[in-house]
Amino acid sequence: MQAWFNVYLKFFFLLTPFFALSMFIAMTSGWDRRSRRKLAVRVSLAVIVLCSILFLFGGYVFEVFGITLDAFRIGAGALLFLSGLSLSRGDIAPPADSTHDIAVVPLAVPITVGPATTGALLVMGGEVIPIHAKIVAGSAMLAAALCIGMMLFVASEVERYLSRTSLAILSRLTGLILVSMAAQMIFAGARELLWGAAP
């Protein structure tokens, strides 16, 4: 159970929940509760499908392109570090154009599942090999995505009780956690590469 919860927390923060929520609220300003909830369901489905594909087929991506897992750890970690740094500094702004259908783009991609999250999911998918471990990690990922969906589903209620400043603070805390996760990924990848290269 502890292992499941640890994986759940990783996936939860990888999906930048508070940033996604703040962007969702900003981009649906003036929408009624019913419209927001319909959009939240569609965003959740898109996130679940995308995360499942990235996680389940991460290992095959490395085989096709001939990329080692450790090299990808360093690259994905660097991207995640930059993403977390931008989030912690509040440098990420919502897209200006929200007149089109925004469920998949930009709310699901790249706001919730961005390039850094994509890389991290591929690495996690490549790391987890045994089928029972895949099931545990997959269920944790699904729970995290559903939790994000529930947060978006009650966005109108959250907006009533939390200010934009509170959401911004939570987003920055999420950024700090992502930076820490990125540093761990880079360290793990570099250590394995150097260890493997050592005589």
Structure tokens at 21: 């929520």
pLDDT band at 15 (very low <50, low <70, confident <90, very high): very high
Region 3-15: what's the mean pLDDT? 93
pLDDT, tens digit (0-9, with 9 covering 90-100), for 84-136? 888 888 766 555 554 467 899 889 998 899 888 898 899 888 888 788 999 99
Q: Where are the domains of the chain?
A: 2-197
- Residue 53 reports pLDDT greater than 60: yes
Global pTM reads 0.83
pLDDT at site 92: 61
Please write the tens of the pLDDT for every residue from 139-167: 999 999 999 999 999 999 998 888 878 88
Q: Which residues of 82-112 are buried (b: 16+ CB within 10 A; e: fewer)?
A: ebbeebbeeebebeeeeeeebbeebbbbbbb
Say if CB 16 and CB 117 are below 8 A apart. yes
